[in-house]
A and B are shown apart, each in its own frame.
Chain A
Amino acid sequence: MSNELKHIVIVGGGSAGWIAAGTLAANHHANQPGGIKITLIESPDVKTIGVGEGTWPTMRNTLRNMGVSETDFMRECDASFKQGAKFAKWVTNSDDDFYYHPLVLPQGYFDVDLFKPWKMAKSPVSFSNAVCYQEQLCERDLAPKLISTPEYAAVANYAYHLDAGKFADFLKNHCTKNLGVHHILDHVSAVNSAENGDIASVSSRSHGDIAGDLFIDCTGFSALLIGKHYNVPSVCKKDILFIDTALAVQVPYDSADSPIASHTISTAQESGWIWDIGLPTRRGIGHVYSSKHSSQERAEQLLRDYLAESIGDKAKDLNFRKIDINPGVREKFWVNNCVAVGMSAGFLEPLEASALVMIELACASISEQLPANRETMDIVAKSYNDKIQYNWDRVIDFLKLHYVASKRDDSAFWRDNRDPQTIPESLQELMALWQHRSPSEYDFPRKREMFSAASYQYVLYGMDYNHSTETGFVSDDVQRKAAKMFAENQQLTKRYVTALPSNRELINKVCQFGFQKV
């Protein structure tokens, strides 16, 4: 059949392009005669965004599925372990205001809901500390596993922090050397239509026209195919999520053995927040803010103040890179034979590192449901659009929750964030339900949710969300189970804080010895 899907062309070689290439090539045997051919074309003139260094634990599966060795990945991408996020000053802005969103599920998560027993005990121990040991690992800069733990396996669930530039290069190398992906370094200057409105080919400057059966738009903010060619509008989300500007900087450590934080540190500011990501060789730090609520000068000043706390006077001379963000999501992602993945499909803001995980989800979905031919493509496109739209809506709700649950009253940014006009109806409904009970897996209907109910629990209870006072009835049975879980968590905490090495120590060992596959 002539309309068989045989050749996929990916335009763009940032994280999105290479994750798409690696996932599709591995699953569809691009390096074998009967496999699907995959070509990635990227412009030598348009740089990749160069940020995006926090991930979710899904990345472990994504990499393993591509046949990547975790040791190679960590060595070459300057990667470190991430065990969640610490949110400082998001709730009251007082000095001791912080909470954790760890990656390990609450103890006994599928068996018993620990929220009510925790709340009724009125203990001074935070929700995260009562139900999960990971905050204590993070507070001590400990690693999530041992050098004798096999690659990709965990003692405590983990993701990575990585160098975005090195990550794209690493995947490029793996995809072209091991997975049979064709790589073209050239600028796409035109998009050529077929009669049915499909993309027939893209024209490049020196490699002529490149034809394909499916085109993946990974061109980042330029959205060459989905935006410029198909004119699919980006639906602006600034009315919900106000962040629209980033100031980014990289900062070296004091010494080669300075501790490496094993979590993302997110510190709320007057009109936004600062991310702080520790890699083995440097920290990546940035201030994202709402330009409606803050001037650039003020945002720079706050970033400098933050930096001065750890690096002193050196903060004065640093130059910041400014990145404009238009928080928005494409109205559709898959049109005809073109699907957008990455920032061409949408971007909101860096909170909770939702972008790369969304890319992984998109690529896995395209790969698993890859239409065999043009005839069935529209069916796949329709369900894909529904699913991805749903996921973006969930991400929007989850990110917005961080602002809505805040009690900060010190600036217009925080007050405006709680204006019901800015809160999606879906989130308002969930929050109304959560006045009376804790978030449950049943609140989220899809099989593969981006964020589990556990994530919502950690954020809500970390933020001391105003739960209605009566907590209701807890049976003896639940009470007993809960007591057991709390005790088990205490034991695990004790065990792991003594058994696990520091993040720095383990990363050094990974560089020196590497993980075993088994």
Chain B
Amino acid sequence: MLKLEKLDSASHQHTKVLPLGSIAETSMMHMVQTVPQEFTEIAQHFPIFFAKDPETGQFNLMALLGLNVDENLFVTDGYWQSAYIPLKIQTTPFFLIEETQQRNTEQVSKPALAIDVDSARVQQTQGEALFVQGRATQYLQTKATQLAQFVEGLRFNQQFIEALLAENLLEAVDLDIRFENGEQLNLQGLYTINKEMLVQVPTAAQQEFENLGYVKLITDIFTSMQQVEALISRKNQRSKNLS
């Protein structure tokens, strides 16, 4: 569970954050939200799928990290094994929260930086400091910038997904995998772009897709499919190491 505290220089002046990978906190994360700014890198390492948020049923864009729930094939002994780490994970243990304030008679809400104080990386002895002499450190500023990018990417994703849904371009993936050790898996709950429907998109919408940069994203998503094979190899490798 998360326990978020809004950051401020007074209450968090001694707070320090251990580097990512020092703690096995993402080792059970089998997928993570991804944003367009990083699609090119993501596609070189992870397959990109659409998956529904279980709470809202709304689609998100996800980088697949494992083939089973609670399995991250990219983390071994707490260390990330990929040359690129998804932005969302880079931003941990920081979050943006909506802070509502009473301004005159109006309720206004604005984003505020928060930290997950339940994360084992957050403590007071080692790691990166957040504030020095009451001012945000370079480290914290970088995290804040990454978070802003991430949130902006999510907004872009929503428009992208709506455009795809409007043209009925999303379809459920039906993936049967057979591993080297004979185990079988039917991968469920993932969606991708339907290639046959894509060529039938009316010209006007195709032009719109081009103008809005969606064509590039679609290409990245198709490219990323190569990484499914890579994931299966990782899984085979892990089974071998275990046995």
Contacts of A147 in B (CB 8 A): 54-57
Q: From residue A204, how far is it (CB to closest CB) to chain B in Å?
A: 40
CA distance A518 to B166 in the complex (A): 12
**Cβ contact of A509, chosen from B57, B168, B170, B191, cutoff 8 A:** B57
Q: From residue B200, how far is it (CB to closest CB) to chain A in Å?
A: 16
- Max chain A Cβ within 10 angstroms of own Cβ: one of B54, B58, B59: B58
CA distance A146 to B57 in the complex (A): 8
> Cβ of A513 < 8 Å from any Cβ of B?
yes
Are A509 and B54 closer than 8 Å at their CB atoms? no
Q: From residue A350, how far is it (CB to closest CB) to chain B in Å?
A: 33
Are B168 and A516 closer than 8 Å at their CB atoms? no
Mark out the residues of chain B between 99 and 114 whose CB falls within 8 Å of any chain A CB in the assembled complex: none
Q: From residue A512, how far is it (CB to closest CB) to chain B in Å?
A: 8
> Cβ of A2 < 8 Å from any Cβ of B?
no
Are A516 and B52 closer than 8 Å at their CB atoms? yes
Contacts of A517 in B (CB 8 A): 165, 168
CA distance A326 to B191 in the complex (A): 53
Interface of A is mostly: loop
Are A516 and B165 closer than 8 Å at their CB atoms? yes
Contacts of B53 in A (CB 8 A): 148
**Cβ contact of A518, chosen from B54, B55, B58, B171, cutoff 8 A:** B171
> Cβ of A515 < 8 Å from any Cβ of B?
yes
Are A513 and B165 closer than 8 Å at their CB atoms? no
Q: From residue B76, how far is it (CB to closest CB) to chain A in Å?
A: 31
Are A518 and B191 closer than 8 Å at their CB atoms? yes
> Cβ of A278 < 8 Å from any Cβ of B?
no
> Cβ of A328 < 8 Å from any Cβ of B?
no
CA distance A85 to B139 in the complex (A): 61
Are A509 and B56 closer than 8 Å at their CB atoms? yes
Complex: chain A residue closest to B161, CB-CB? A516
Contacts of A515 in B (CB 8 A): 57
> Cβ of A514 < 8 Å from any Cβ of B?
yes
Are A148 and B54 closer than 8 Å at their CB atoms? yes
CA distance A147 to B54 in the complex (A): 7
Mark out the residues of chain B between 46 and 65 whose CB falls within 8 Å of any chain A CB in the assembled complex: 52-59
> Cβ of B205 < 8 Å from any Cβ of A?
no
Are A514 and B57 closer than 8 Å at their CB atoms? yes
Q: From residue B215, how far is it (CB to closest CB) to chain A in Å?
A: 21
Interface string of A145-159 (1 = CB under 8 A from B): 011110000000000
> Cβ of B172 < 8 Å from any Cβ of A?
yes
State how many residues of chain A have any CB contact under 8 Å with chain B: 12
Supposing A509-B57, A516-B57 touch, asked if A148 and B52 sit within 8 A by C-beta, the answer is yes
- Max chain A Cβ within 10 angstroms of own Cβ: one of B55, B59, B189: B55
Are A518 and B56 closer than 8 Å at their CB atoms? no
State how many residues of chain B have any CB contact under 8 Å with chain A: 15
Are A513 and B57 closer than 8 Å at their CB atoms? yes
Mark out the residues of chain A between 116 and 151 whose CB falls within 8 Å of any chain B CB in the assembled complex: 146-149
Mark out the residues of chain B between 29 and 57 whose CB falls within 8 Å of any chain A CB in the assembled complex: 52-57
Are B57 and A148 closer than 8 Å at their CB atoms? yes
Contacts of B55 in A (CB 8 A): 147
Contacts of A514 in B (CB 8 A): 57
Q: From residue A469, how far is it (CB to closest CB) to chain B in Å?
A: 47
Are B172 and A518 closer than 8 Å at their CB atoms? yes
Contacts of A146 in B (CB 8 A): 54, 57
Mark out the residues of chain B between 158 and 186 whose CB falls within 8 Å of any chain A CB in the assembled complex: 165, 168, 170-172
Interface string of A484-518 (1 = CB under 8 A from B): 00000000000000000000000001001111111
Contacts of B170 in A (CB 8 A): 516, 518
Q: From residue B175, how far is it (CB to closest CB) to chain A in Å?
A: 15
Q: From residue B53, how far is it (CB to closest CB) to chain A in Å?
A: 8
Contacts of B52 in A (CB 8 A): 148, 516
Contacts of A512 in B (CB 8 A): 56
- Max chain A Cβ within 10 angstroms of own Cβ: one of B52, B171, B191: B52
CA distance A512 to B57 in the complex (A): 10
Are A513 and B172 closer than 8 Å at their CB atoms? no
- Max chain A Cβ within 10 angstroms of own Cβ: one of B57, B58, B59, B171: B57
CA distance A514 to B56 in the complex (A): 8
Q: From residue A417, how far is it (CB to closest CB) to chain B in Å?
A: 46
Q: From residue B97, how far is it (CB to closest CB) to chain A in Å?
A: 20
CA distance A161 to B168 in the complex (A): 29
Q: From residue A74, how far is it (CB to closest CB) to chain B in Å?
A: 13
Complex: chain B residue closest to A145, CB-CB? B57
Contacts of B168 in A (CB 8 A): 517
CA distance A112 to B55 in the complex (A): 38
Contacts of B54 in A (CB 8 A): 146-148
Q: From residue B58, how far is it (CB to closest CB) to chain A in Å?
A: 6
CA distance A513 to B52 in the complex (A): 12
- Max chain B Cβ within 10 angstroms of own Cβ: one of A149, A513, A515, A518: A518
Q: From residue B107, how far is it (CB to closest CB) to chain A in Å?
A: 20
Are B59 and A513 closer than 8 Å at their CB atoms? no
Contacts of A149 in B (CB 8 A): 57
Q: From residue B196, how far is it (CB to closest CB) to chain A in Å?
A: 14
Q: From residue A36, how far is it (CB to closest CB) to chain B in Å?
A: 26
CA distance A515 to B56 in the complex (A): 9
Complex: chain B residue closest to A147, CB-CB? B57
Q: From residue B51, how far is it (CB to closest CB) to chain A in Å?
A: 9
Interface string of B55-90 (1 = CB under 8 A from A): 111110000000000000000000000000000000
CA distance A515 to B172 in the complex (A): 15
CA distance A514 to B189 in the complex (A): 17
CA distance A253 to B106 in the complex (A): 32
Are B58 and A513 closer than 8 Å at their CB atoms? yes
Contacts of A509 in B (CB 8 A): 56-57
Complex: chain A residue closest to B51, CB-CB? A148
Complex: chain A residue closest to B52, CB-CB? A148
Are B191 and A513 closer than 8 Å at their CB atoms? no
CA distance A491 to B136 in the complex (A): 54
Complex: chain B residue closest to A516, CB-CB? B57
Q: From residue B189, how far is it (CB to closest CB) to chain A in Å?
A: 8
Complex: chain A residue closest to B56, CB-CB? A513
CA distance A515 to B189 in the complex (A): 14
CA distance A1 to B191 in the complex (A): 50
Q: From residue A227, how far is it (CB to closest CB) to chain B in Å?
A: 45
Q: From residue B198, how far is it (CB to closest CB) to chain A in Å?
A: 15
Contacts of B171 in A (CB 8 A): 518
CA distance A515 to B52 in the complex (A): 10
Contacts of B165 in A (CB 8 A): 516-517
Known: A517-B165, A518-B172. 5 other contacts (CB 8 A): A147-B55, A148-B189, A513-B57, A514-B57, A517-B168
15 residue pairs from A and B, CB less than 8 Å apart? A146-B54, A147-B54, A147-B55, A147-B56, A148-B52, A148-B57, A148-B189, A512-B56, A513-B57, A513-B58, A515-B57, A516-B165, A517-B165, A517-B168, A518-B191
| 6 interchain residue pairs of minimum CB distance | A147-B57, A148-B52, A148-B57, A513-B56, A518-B170, A513-B57
